[in-house]
Amino acid sequence: MKIRKANLNPTVENKDNDLWGNNMKDQIVLWWSRDDRAAEYVFSRSTSLEGPWAEIFRLGIAAARKSGAAVDITPDAMLMDLCYKIEAIDGTGKVIRRYEPICVPKWQEEGSLSLSQDTSPNLFSSFLSHGGLADPFFNLGGQDLFPLPSYKLVSFSSATGVQLASAISTTNSTQSSSQPYNTMCLSNDEFVDSSAMTYEDIQNFLEDKNSFLQGEIKDVDGVSFETAEIINFAAQTYGINPQVLLTTLQKEFGAITKNKRLKDDILKLIMGYNTNNPTTIVDQILDAAAQMRRDFDRLSNGQATASGWQVGVSKLSGEPNPGDEKDASGESISVTPANKAVAVLFTYTPWIGERWGGEKGIGGNGSFCKLWEEFGFKKEVSLPDLSLILTIFSAPNPPFRGFIRWIFVNQGEATATGFLIHIFLVSSSSGSEVLQFEDLIGSLAPGESVSFASSPFYCGSCFLRIIIDPTNVVRESNEENNTLITPIF
């Protein structure tokens, strides 16, 4: 007999089975049965079924059809039970349907974190916090016995790249940051890895989630089938990772964690595929996998996907018109897919979602990656981690000329290639910046470090702002330790 692990945060549904939700720790995910008469849905929240209710967002019909679940991203999900109700409104503003409310229990943890772990700060980490802290030599009274980690020093350059006479003036130079929706959460190889799960793996996964899709079920046309068998067949036939199909099933209507069978009108669109043409569960799974393969192949042949997405080419998110999705400031958002997997997924669901700064209340591809990780599908990828470990300013006779020496290291698990180093002199009085140093690093292996030294210069009273990989070409395990600001007096 198989013992199933208890689900501490099960999906909650109303008695009409047309509104259900799940607590995912930092957000509540809501799914509901769409109404063909609706032009808009109004979502409200309370801490009790008796109210008072407060409107939290509205979703138009286009977003409701193609963005997957609705999400309420809130820290309250970890603190208290939260109740939700939905009202469907027609084109005249009249309420045509009120969904029976649900209350989703607060997040439940399995066990608790150990408090015995040593959490004392590392001596070096205090010097490497993003945006700050001075040269450790200043803090330690100029001692030159400061302990350095045992990294391999592979390069030393004297006055490399320093051009004081022709310094470039800049203002408000900032480090660019990679947006998560451009890279998402899986590679091309992962997307088409049809061997990621066997038929038995898929069936066990559905059983572990206590999904109504486990075992043999009847389709909306009365024909019996096994969901695991169909998912496996679709994966093998079209060369799509079955984990992508499982995650899509959950993103669209929460079918993986739903133990009560969904209504037929939802089952006919269970994958969210071609919402204008409801079919069957089997056809939805097969057709969705087929579309994903068609779009992937188009991209492999140098073409755009069916809706115009391409790798490395920016496109506005939203539907029916690109740009319909707005961020918190009301601006449209451009997505530049970093690989074919991202372009295919945005073809399928052209919404970023609130988790990544998109339209409020929308799940979109932000929810896909949240679920991908929640289901344990995300692979641990070895990445580099570029970090400053020491900055020294030496001026034998202040305030006369001095020089700077700095050392940075790749403390990650993969080689970093083709990245820049920028150093700015920042006036402590005006805040204006001058680019003092720029150099291109071809390659830096794990554990290797690089040391640079400038030629003598006069600063007076100013700050140094040192940035590793300012254009963010290197994907790192930690993107928050690439900048350091240190004063020079």
Whether residue 217 is found in the same domain as residue 74: no
Question: Which of 311, 344, 374 finishes a domain?
Answer: 374
What's the pLDDT at 3?
A: 54
pLDDT digits (tens, 9 = 90+) for 127-151: 222 233 233 322 323 333 223 333 3
* Backbone phi, psi, residue 145, to 5°: -110, 25
Considering the domain boundaries, does residue 1 fall inside one?
Answer: no
The count of structural domains within the chain is 3
- Nearest alpha carbon to residue 43 among 108, 104, 1, 120: 104
What's the pLDDT at 83?
A: 97
Whether residue 167 is found in the same domain as residue 210: no
pTM for this entry: 0.69
What's the pLDDT at 459?
A: 63
Whether residue 423 is found in the same domain as residue 363: no
Considering the domain boundaries, does residue 228 fall inside one?
Answer: yes
Considering the domain boundaries, does residue 476 fall inside one?
Answer: yes
What's the pLDDT at 454?
A: 65
Q: What angle do CA 262, 264, 265 make, to 5 degrees?
A: 105
**10 Å Cβ neighbour count for 151?**
17
**Neighbouring-strand partners of residue 73:** 27
What's the pLDDT at 401?
A: 55
Considering the domain boundaries, does residue 37 fall inside one?
Answer: yes
- Nearest alpha carbon to residue 25 among 108, 95, 97: 108
The runs of H, that is alpha helices, within 331-378 are 340-348, 364-374
Q: CA 320 to CA 37: how far, in whole Å?
A: 18
User: 471 lies in which domain range?
Assistant: 125-178+382-488
- Nearest alpha carbon to residue 24 among 98, 80, 77: 77
Query: Checking phi first, is residue 361 left (phi over 0); if not, alpha (psi -120 to 50) or beta?
Result: left
Whether residue 248 is found in the same domain as residue 209: yes
Give the list of residues 6+ apart from residue 272 with CB closer than 8 angstroms, or none: 65, 66, 68, 248, 251, 252, 253, 288, 348, 349
Q: Going along 174-235, which residue ranges are E strands?
A: 216-218, 224-226
Whether residue 162 is found in the same domain as residue 248: no
Considering the domain boundaries, does residue 324 fall inside one?
Answer: yes
Considering the domain boundaries, does residue 207 fall inside one?
Answer: yes
In this prediction, the residues of the chain whose per-residue pLDDT falls under 70 are 1-6, 111-178, 390-404, 454-460, 488-489
Considering the domain boundaries, does residue 109 fall inside one?
Answer: no
Whether residue 389 is found in the same domain as residue 454: yes
Whether residue 343 is found in the same domain as residue 227: yes
Considering the domain boundaries, does residue 62 fall inside one?
Answer: yes
What's the pLDDT at 28?
A: 96
What's the pLDDT at 462?
A: 75
